Amino acid sequence: MKKRKHERTKYRSPVHFISSHIPYRGCILDVSPGGILIESDSRLEPGTRLQICYSEEEEKVSISKGTVVWSSKDKLGIRF
């Protein structure tokens, strides 16, 4: 079994992300320094670049850029 480069932390939070000026929504399931796992009905191809917006704390909003590494019918693996 391949060991991950970064440890994942369970983290449940709404997330908004944009690709090619199209907005999408989902829910973050876990996060690591290297990326996040998003639950979403949106199907995006691996290699798709995103701008991701989510709240780390009640009033602090984070904006990150990432790339879709893999996608399934209801989840997206994103690398920062």
CA–CA separation, 65 vs 10, rounded Å? 20
Distance of CA 79 to the CA centre of its chain: 8
Q: Could you tell me the residue ranges of all domains in the chain?
A: 1-50+68-73
Q: What is the pTM of this model?
A: 0.84
Identity at 23, one-letter amino acid code:
P
Identity at 67, one-letter amino acid code:
T
Give per-residue pLDDT as tens, 12-61. Answer: 989 999 999 999 999 999 999 999 999 999 989 999 999 999 876 666 67
